[in-house]
Amino acid sequence: MRALDRKLIRDLRRIWAQSLAIALVLGCGVMVLVLAQGAERSLTGTRDAYYERNRFADVFAGATRAPRDLLADIAQLDGVAQAEGRISFPVVLDIPGLTEPAAGRVISLPAGGEPLLNLPLLRQGRMPDPLRDDEVLLSEDFARTNALAPGARFRALLNGQLRDLTVAGLALSPEFIYLIGPGTIMPDDRRYGVIWMNETAAAAAKDLTGAFNEVTLRLTRDGRPEAVIAALDRLLEPYGGTGAHGRDRQTSHAFLQSELDQLGAMALILPPVFLIVSAFLVNMVLGRLIALERQQIGLLKAVGYTTREIAGHYLRMSIGIGIGGVAAGWAAGIWLGHETTQLYAEFYRFPYLLYAPGGGAFAVSGLAGIATVILGALRAVWGSVRLSPAAAMSPPAPPVFRRGLADRMGALLRLRQTTMMILRSITRWPGRAAVTLFGVSASVAVLVASFFAFDASRAMVDEVFHRANRQHVTLQLTSDRTLDAIEAAGRLPGVLRVEGGYALPVRLIHGHREKLLALQARAEGAELTRLLDPEGRPVPLPAAGLVLPESLAADLGAGPGDVLAVELLVPPREVLRIPVTGVVRQSLGQTPYIRDDALHALMRQAPVVNQLDLLVDTDALPALHAAVKQSPAIAGITLWTDVRRQFDQTLQENLITMTVIYVTLGVLITVGVVYNAARIQLSERAHELASLRVLGFTRFEVGYVLVGELMLLTVVAIPVGWLAGYGFAALMAQGISTDLFRIPLVIAPQTYAIAALVAFWAALASALVVRRRLDRVDIATALKRRE
């Protein structure tokens, strides 16, 4: 082994604690990158394999009643590889052991065998017997949650009658990876499921024998979704087509894609913070080490070592630290990535998991990690290797001290001498102080931005469940009803207030931009469902014109005063031109609003409703549930208290785990920065601190000089970290917001306080660890050290 190699090993052994701190900070950045990219790639691969094996459709469309013969024309469209018609409708279920009514969606199974597209994956039992109309498949999670094994029976309200159905088997489907009911935001395995039923039974229930009301398509490799969707809409228009769409508007796929986009955003936003801090730490530690070995460098040059060899020695040292950090990050990223992917696979109902993070994440993170430590080392190395042997072997010129602002302020405030030493150290070595300040502020920023996710979730809960939606129950009706339905609903048990609503599919067009959405019409003075302005205050619905959520207005490039073309996808199937009269805040979805009387006037029809919002006496809920189970006019029910409970439960399950991860990341940055800064200060100021002991200062007073400077910088760094954290949170909110979720930029005061406390105590603990080493410094040796 060469002499420089032996020196390298000795140096790394001597600064192992500082090297470990740097490696851990660097490893955090590598870990986040490997975790996020690995989970995204694995989930995408699992999803794509599931889609391919079970023939997930590319295009979906609904209609009122289309003849089976039309399928031949649809299959002939350019770009269409397969077309399949089916019958689908919502249904109310009476499940044994469940007091409240459950809801579900019936999907027909072809009489000739398994579906061509969206093939259910049988998990238990068997497919329904085509000769038995009462046998069905159930979605697996719904069946297991309600203890409905094959052979179990339950009742469904079909065609106005309660029918007994038998469970033949349990299944999963690529169409329902994320299964939610109408008007909800979270899966409810207890109260919502999918029922696959023989086509004859489904057709009889909806009077659709020889017809279909949904069609799904698989496209050819060169098929253009936009052209196919336009052609399909033209074919279905005479039969009540409600607008075809691709996978991007299929609820399950859209939610899953939103999650994948968020993982991608995390991989882009978080790792650079750790890498930048790591670069500063390498520069700080290596710079101090080279300063201490100045004479050794001069001797090495004097005996014949070249500048390139010496520079390579110190660069190899930094690369060694980088390799340790990258290896630790890879190991943690693989483990956490697999666990995270497993959780996603269970939550999103994948039947299997293909965990394959791929080499890309490791290559990118490895190169980024090594490049980070090399860049951090370059400045320190360059400053030393330029010296000639004679200059290097001579002591550096002592610093020039002058009375400055800190001295004048200290004299004015009559500060103690130890406090003045702290202020002088900061003002005379501002670069070193800036590195410490930057590192601690980065830690605070990471903590603020991380905990911001919980503040945003709580703000969304408050908006959705308290201020915007104040009803207890929402009923979806089987068809459009006159306003008499509102009076009828008012006679249901325990109902205190009823408000009707009307939702219809439309296509909003503004210039070259368009969106296929459900337009929501509400009555004047509605109090159970309210609109909120961008500041979160309730606002009334204008007497005329459209009101758009902020995200939808941005996507369409429209604002108040602009006129949109509103293509109605229900009779009278006209294109209306309606001005935009307001913009509101909406965290979930992109629902446009209009006054019901204004919409019905434009459509030239009598007022109708197809959903009802109820305020209910909670003591009467059991009686209301029993009445809903018997009502043929009700197609589905949303219990907002249950939706809220599920949302809170899911948030609480993730809260502890994510809190531990985020606090660990923030603490590691603080520890890495403050510990290294303290060790460097102790090394640089050993002579000065030993002199204080000789002059009679106590151990506490000497320790105060060392610890006080670091804690002063920490206190100053905290407000800077708050500002950086706010900007960081704004980037995260913008990066992870989608059409389905709009993340509000809300940071609670306690988040700033928690971030500050975590960083402060981590800094104090790190400084005190080094403070203990001060007691072990040999005073005589420190005083003999040459200035």
Please give the pLDDT value at position 632.
86
Mean per-residue pLDDT, 503-532: 91
Q: Is the pLDDT of residue 125 over 90?
A: yes
pTM of the full predicted structure? Answer: 0.80
Mean per-residue pLDDT, 154-183: 89
Least confident of 43-52, 316-325, 448-457: 448-457
d(CA 45, CA 381): 44
Residues 6 or more apart in contact with residue 472 via CB below 8 angstroms: 614, 615, 616, 618, 621, 639, 640, 641
d(CA 683, CA 289): 10
- Measured CA distances, 531 to 561, 694, 733 (Å): 19, 73, 22
Please give the pLDDT value at position 339.
84
Please say whether the beta carbons of 240 and 65 come within 8 A: yes
DSSP annotation of 529 reads B
Residues 6 or more apart in contact with residue 86 via CB below 8 angstroms: 107, 108, 110, 115, 199, 212, 214, 215, 216
H or E element in which residue 212 lies? strand 211-219
Please give the pLDDT value at position 384.
65
**Structure token pair of residue 149:** 């094994």
Q: What does the buried/exposed string (b/e) look like for 351-363 if buried means 16 or more CB atoms within 10 Å of the residue's CB?
A: bebbbebeeebbe
Q: Is the pLDDT of residue 785 over 80?
A: no
Please give the pLDDT value at position 787.
45
Mean per-residue pLDDT, 557-566: 93
Please give the pLDDT value at position 438.
83
Domains of the chain, with CATH numbers? 1-54+255-397 (no CATH), 88-200 (no CATH), 429-472+640-787 (no CATH), 495-616 (2.40.70)
- Measured CA distances, 387 to 296, 305, 317 (Å): 12, 13, 20
Q: Which value, to the nearest 10 degrees, does the dihedral of the CA atoms of residues 401, 405, 409, 412 take?
A: 80
- Which of 64-78, 651-665, 696-710 is modeled with the greatest confidence? 64-78
Please say whether the beta carbons of 387 and 333 come within 8 A: no
Least confident of 276-290, 335-349, 504-518: 276-290
Please give the pLDDT value at position 420.
75
**Structure token pair of residue 668:** 């590691």
- Which of 62-76, 324-338, 414-428 is modeled with the greatest confidence? 62-76
Count other C-beta atoms under 10 Å from residue 543's C-beta. 10
Q: Which amino acid is at 33?
A: L
Least confident of 167-171, 652-656, 769-773: 652-656
d(CA 165, CA 126): 15
Please give the pLDDT value at position 155.
93
Q: Label residue 390 by pLDDT band (50, 70, 90).
A: low
Residues 6 or more apart in contact with residue 645 via CB below 8 angstroms: none
Residues 6 or more apart in contact with residue 491 via CB below 8 angstroms: none
Give strand pairing partners of 547. Answer: 582, 593
Give strand pairing partners of 246. Answer: 59
Q: Is the pLDDT of residue 383 over 90?
A: no
Please say whether the beta carbons of 136 and 166 come within 8 A: yes
d(CA 722, CA 146): 47
**Terminal-to-terminal C-alpha distance of the chain:** 34
What percent of the chain lies above the pLDDT cut of 70? Answer: 90
Give strand pairing partners of 566. Answer: 508, 576
Least confident of 4-13, 24-33, 37-46, 392-401: 392-401
Please give the pLDDT value at position 84.
95
